[in-house]
Each structure stands twice: as structure tokens, then as C-alpha cells.
Structure 1
Amino acid sequence: MTDDAILRPRRSVLYMPGANERALEKAKTLPTDALILDLEDSVAPDAKADARKRVAAAVASGEYGYREVTIRVNAPGTPWHAEDLRAAAEAGPDAVVVPKVDSPETVHAVERALEAAGAPDRTAIWAMVETPQAMLDAGAVAAASERLTVLVMGTNDLAKELHAEFVPGRAPLLTGLSLALLGARAAGKVILDGVYNDVQDLAGFEAECVQGRQFGFDGKTLIHPKQVEPCNSAFAPSQAEIERSRRIIEAFEAAAAEGRGVVTVDGRMIENLHVEDARRVLSLAEAVAGR
């Protein structure tokens, strides 16, 4: 995966119900980095076919501006999965989001189906990891295909599978979150945190955004437009981070020019790894500013 793909802002990734024409229209005005037009949980069985056509038309419209537009298909093994993949391949979204991915074999099957249906090369696979098996095999899933660029945490399903309670700080899920992060980073892929269910609890949501960023997630999936702006803020570099990153790069380059091997910034020793991270911060800040 290219550096551009890694540094493309995915701070906020909003689910929008594919059966709701008004929601699809509203999504064109929201400051979210990416959209997941949903054919799965938010769509009743008798509305699946109509939603599929509506979402495909929305993607083909090209009216979503800078936003990365993806389609979440129904899970492998459901009656709608194959037709969802065919319709998504023809529409050519930025990515197809696939639920319940817990093995490389599932990724390979999806990839074959997309290629057989003529999906453009630019249409990536985003794999949702939602089960204990997926956590244990996250690295293998993430590395299964070059077309797979993003892992998406399915924290609701993971909590259900674990028989875990939803508590502040998400202690029951931390092992799974860490395993998925390790797998994504080992494969050089992007990873998105799961949703926060209580749309009225803004303080709790913001705290979970901070936790997700501290863990290392690239962004967070969302279920309501009111969550977009605080999420964007939480996952964007702060002005203090930007200024410190600039000082690190400047100090390191000055030391190198003078032949000095030891560099300190704000009283802390600076190494190559800090410089690389500082450059990543500045690149992300520049990409965010471009929005």
C-alpha cells in the first residue's frame, strides 16, 4: 500500500442506511472523511434489493466530493452477499466493506468475486473483524490481499461473542482491540475503531475517541452525524503536535548537518523513529487541511 493510501484522512467514517434516500442525500453535506453506505444491519430483508439499487446509483453519481465512498455488503453466507458484491463491483466504490471476515480464505473469495464481476482496480476491500477468531487471525486477514487496505473493528459483535458488558474504558475488549491493531500494523494496513452506541452521550463518545487515538487507530466508525466533528477533532493532529513535529525535524536536520549524533527537543532525546513519526504527523495535518 502506498504512503498516500495510508495518510488519506479517515478520522471519521460514517455509516449511512442504504435504504434511506434522505440519508444518502444528507451525506453529501457532512464533513466526514468517509462514508459506509450500508446494505447490512440497517436494511430490512424485504428492502435489500431496493437499497442495493439506491446505493449503487449514489456511488455512480460522483456527488460526494472528497469523501471516500464505500458500500457495506451483507456478510458471506447470507442470501444477499453474492448479488451485493456484483452490484458493488459494477458501481465501483472506493471500497467494499465486508462483514464477518475471520480468515484469509474469506478475503480471497471476496477478491475473486469482485474481479469476476469487473470491479475496477481502485475498489479496495475493507474487512470487518468482529469475532474472537478474527482477533486471533487479524494479521493473516490483513495480509491476505493487496486489495485489502483497511480493517474495521466490529466492536458490537465482538462484545456479543465474548459475552462482555459495555463499560467505560472498554476493558473487556482491550485484548481484542490490541490484537487487531497488531495485525493491521504488521501488514501495513489502516485500522478503524468501532462505533459508540449512545449518540446522546457526547462526553463518553469523546473519551472513547481519545482512547482509540491513543491506542493507534487511524479513525473511528460512526452511527450519527453529530459524532462527526468531535471525531474529526480527536483524530487530527493538534496545533501543539504540529509545532512539536516541526521542531523535531528542524533539530534533527540541523544536527545532521553539523555532524552531531545526539539531538534533544523539549528535553527529550530524538531518534530517527521520532523524526519519521513527526513527518507522518505533518503529512496527515497537510492532508486534513486540504479538506
Structure 2
Amino acid sequence: MSKQNFLVEETNRSVRIDKLLAELNEEASRSQVQSWIKDGFVKVNGETVKSNYKCQPDDQIEWEIPEPKELEIEPENIPLDIVYEDQDLIVVNKPKGMVVHPSHGHQSGTLVHALLYHCDDLSGINGVHRPGIVHRIDKDTSGLLVVAKNDQSHERLSDMLANKEIKRQYEAIVHGAISHEKGTIDAPIGRDQNDRQKMAIVQDGKPAVTHFVVKEVFDRFSHVYCELETGRTHQIRVHFRYIDHPLVGDPKYGQRKTLDVSGQALHSRKISFQHPTTDETLTFEVDAPEIFQEALETVKRMS
């Protein structure tokens, strides 16, 4: 159980307490915060309140964050496309539609369930429900992920990721004909103030930079390669929405009228980094899945 104290300032006058606390803790959804308030984990000036309480300047909020209940994960015999493996790490080509790690909405069929069946020596730094997971890609994004098999490798890979030493290249199909050959999107990303389940470009968000090269341009679509300088949640999806070229098929940030590709047309195609133990430079590349290739053929025919 961790405790936090927060003094309400004038800028948060009349803001609902559940909204304010959800903004303060990016890992918590508004519904989670509401359940904590209902269970008495939140007090204002020493008194319990309801979720719709309107905060006032100088309110003293005491907030106890309960420890998350650990999920019991049973290994599952799910086929994996292993691109590379040694005693320190695994590079896997994650299929479209697979969630990376368990959560309360996805308690089976994840990449972690499959990895635990494949091997029992994953790093424990991220706890029992994210063993070995150094970085993530969205459920409907396919492609390359690096998984650590011990804590030493995990720490080194995490440091490289933080220091921008792991190079990741994605490919995407976006709406609209992009008129230039390449570009950089530099816009901070944070929680959408109107929808906690989405990210958005916000002034006080975390720095986010995406570089892109236009590979092909069609009448109403473009095929792009993207390189991440940072790794914010939904970064490519949010950035291309921001420049009015949302990803094809994106259910959160895309257009209502789009191609049916079972989620966003986004693929993690290439990754390059130094081996955490040997310092050898490793580079891996995988083709986009068939549904992505078919979508490319479709937009070509539509041109």
C-alpha cells in the first residue's frame, strides 16, 4: 500500500476528484479511481468523499493506492514465431491480435502466456504478470519485440531503450497522399482529457518524436516507414492523427470510413541493438503479415 498527499491548487477548483486523481496517476483508469474512492482509500481533509466531489483550493487529499492483485499465470501452448533466441534474450515476431501481457481484461492467450510455456527463465523485473517484457506494442500491431530472459539483460536493454540506443522501424498505411518524401513529428503526448482510454497531443505531455519516410503514395493513401526516437503509448497512431493522416483501420484514432484490416495497419518491421552481454550489434527484420500486404494491394487498386 503506497500513500500520496496532494494539496489542491486554484487551477483545480471545482474539478471532480475522480477526474483529478486519474490525471495524477497515468496508470489508473477513472473507473479504478472511482472504486478506490468508494472503498475509502481516498480522503479529503480527513473525510471520505464521493467520486463526484468538487475539489476546492487548499483541500488536502490523502490517497492510499492499494497494491494490485497479482494474476496467476498458467503457461499456454501457443505457437510463437521466434526470430532469435539465446541464453539472454528472445526476439519474437508478435502476430496481429495478440495482447503482450495479461491484464484484467486479457487473462489468457497473451504473449506472456506463450513465452512461459516456451521457456521458464524470463526476467522478473516487471513482476509476475510482465515477465521479460522490456517494451510493448499494441494488440493489433504486429512485429518485432525483444524479451529479456534474465534480470541483468533486462536492466541493460531497458537502459538502452531509455537512452535511445534501440532502433525500431515500423511501417504503416495512412489515409491521405503525403506530399513530401520524409518528415519529423515532434509533439508531446499525454492522456486525452476527454477520454482516459486515449492519448492525445497535449501541451504538458511527455516529449514524443517520430521520424518517417514516405515509401509509396497513392491517390488517397500513403505507405510510410517510421522510426521512433521516443516510445510513448500509441505514439505513431497519435502523431499521424495529429498531422491529419490517421492510420488505416485504427479504431481509436482513425477515420470512420476506412479499410477493414482488423485494427490499425501498423507493423514493427525492423529492430537493431547491441547484445546486452556480448555487445554484438544485432539487427532483425520481418515482413508485414498477409493482411497488411493485402491492404497495400487494395489501396494500389483503388488509385
TM range (shorter): under 0.3
